[in-house]
């Protein structure tokens, strides 16, 4: 049986896009393999899961939206 891939779209601002691109580039250099935005976001989530207060702050609703 083949792999099923579900593609979701997220919207980010230009500055976040650039920062993700920079992070993915750094990860590629560190790991010595191709890295995509999914890998970069996973890295951030795993890194911050050790600091739950930051994850809670980042997922808090933003006023005015």
For all residues of the chain together, what is the average pLDDT?
84
Using alpha carbons, list the distances in angstroms from residue 40 to 21, 34, 58, 61, 64. Answer: 8, 11, 16, 23, 28
Contact 40, 24 (CB under 8 A): yes
Quick one: pLDDT band at residue 7, thresholds 50, 70, 90? Answer: confident
pTM, rounded to two decimals: 0.63
Please say whether the dihedral angle defined by the alpha carbons of residues 13, 17, 20 and 26, taken in this order, is positive or negative: negative
Number of domains in the chain: 1
Range of the domain at 48: 16-58
Q: Does some domain include residue 65? A: no
Q: Does some domain include residue 10? A: no
Q: Does some domain include residue 49? A: yes
| 65, pLDDT greater than 60 | no
Q: Does some domain include residue 2? A: no
Quick one: pLDDT band at residue 17, thresholds 50, 70, 90? Answer: very high
What integer is the mean pLDDT of 32-48?
Answer: 89
Q: Does some domain include residue 64? A: no
| 5, pLDDT greater than 70 | yes
């Amino acid at each position: 049986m083949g792999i099923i891939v579900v593609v979701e779209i997220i919207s980010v601002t230009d500055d976040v896009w650039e920062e993700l691109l920079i992070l993915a580039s750094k990860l590629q250099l560190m790991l010595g393999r191709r890295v995509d935005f999914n890998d970069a976001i996973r890295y951030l989530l795993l890194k911050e899961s050790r600091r739950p207060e930051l994850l809670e702050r980042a997922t808090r609703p933003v006023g005015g939206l």
